[in-house]
Amino acid sequence: MKNKQRIEPTLTLSDLYGTDIVYTSRPSYASNPWLAIAEHQCNFSTGRELIIAGRIPVIVHKASVTNKLITLFNPVGIEKPTNILKFEDQTTYEQLIKKLAYENGKKIYFQYAHESDFLENIHYALDKDVLIALNNKSRLPEWTGHKYLPKRESVTVENLEKSLSNWEFPFVLKPGGDLPTAGGYGVMICHNNKELIKAKQAISKASHMTNTLIIEQKIEAVANYSVQYAYSKKEGIRYLGATEQLTDQYGYYKGNHNAHDVPDKVIQAGREIMENGAKNGYFGIAGFDFLVDTNHDIYAIDLNFRQNGSTSMLLLDSFFHDGYHKFYNYISSSDNEHFFKIVLKYVQKGVLFPIAYYDGDWFSSKTVKSRFCGVWHGSNKNDIERIEQEFLNDLQSK
């Protein structure tokens, strides 16, 4: 932390949504081949916005709000969150939402659209059709104004083979329907035939739920930005900042670090997209992924009209040391107590800021690995990389 005085996020969810609606970041429990995230990872994500929630009620899994979270918050001066509505499994999650909607008359702000037979659209705070449309990868050209686009083609599953005969490696395959994706799941980067065969296998397994695919040029990028904005009628459009995304060679999300000297044209392109979203009924936080190539051309490769992994990092900037910030997730290898002990050690050192903690030991009847996400912060990247390596070594030692 920079100092001991009370610091607030630069913007909270209650600033955007008020306090009469309820927020949930959990994806639906329904099957989705393009969001194949483990149940515990989905539960863990429900605690990620607690610090930036403000006064809005948030639906959170019980394992994400145990005393371990409070212990981690104490060294950084964060008070125990209060506006929490808890669930513990699919049944209690769905019962809670239906009670809030049908009995209490509450509208729910969903991070991800849920299936139609679960809850009627009228109970969505943000219109469900708007949420789905803006996150549909096939419709990305509409929201960019047909600008900032890599070469891309929308095809049916049946015509994929024929269309691919006109493409050379490397290219990217993405689902183009209404099902949500996140964290790089559903993004299939193909450098060769072996990777293409693997992608076709995934497509085949999902063909009963997805009939449209995107073939897209793979950009040789020198920078990968997530540029984030917030919009409400009261606030208007506000630029929240940008991070550089860390991904592996297959496009899977590996965290974010703070971005300096973001090109003005990237920020402006993101603002144009946010304006288009607002004109079509969107309100809330959104993050847009832009690649910049060696020619300084920019390409919009993904539009996430929802909060992102690094949103909390941007809104909590005032809590961190000046310099380098890195957002990342960690999972316990086996010993949850040792995992928590080491996480707490580095939080107490003042170099690791806690965002969320999922307490695997809450599950007394089965073995569940704990999870943690936070922000490393220090004067420069080299120091943080050295400290993070010490952290990883400590996790492996006993």
Write out pLDDT tens, residues 92-104. 999 999 999 999 9
pLDDT in tens, 87-146: 999 999 999 999 999 999 999 999 999 998 899 999 999 999 999 999 998 999 999 999
C-alpha of 209 from chain center: 23
CA distance linking residue 303 with residue 147, whole number of Å: 13
What CATH class is the domain 152-217? alpha beta
User: What does pLDDT average to over the chain?
Assistant: 92
pLDDT value of position 6: 56
What is the total residue count of the chain? 398
Tell me yes or no: is domain 220-305 CATH 3.30.470.20: yes
Q: Which two tokens stand for residue 187?
A: 């993004």
CA distance linking residue 59 with residue 83, whole number of Å: 9
CA distance linking residue 297 with residue 52, whole number of Å: 34
Nearest to 143 by CA among 7, 323, 269, 12: 269
Q: Kindly report the CATH number that applies to the domain delimited by 321-396.
A: 3.30.70
pLDDT value of position 389: 97
**Residue spans per domain, the chain:** 13-134, 152-217, 220-305, 321-396
A 10 A CB-CB count for 290 gives: 27
pLDDT in tens, 164-206: 999 999 999 998 877 666 655 678 999 999 999 999 998 988 8
- Note the pTM of the prediction, 2 decimals: 0.92
Q: Which residues are catalytic?
A: 306
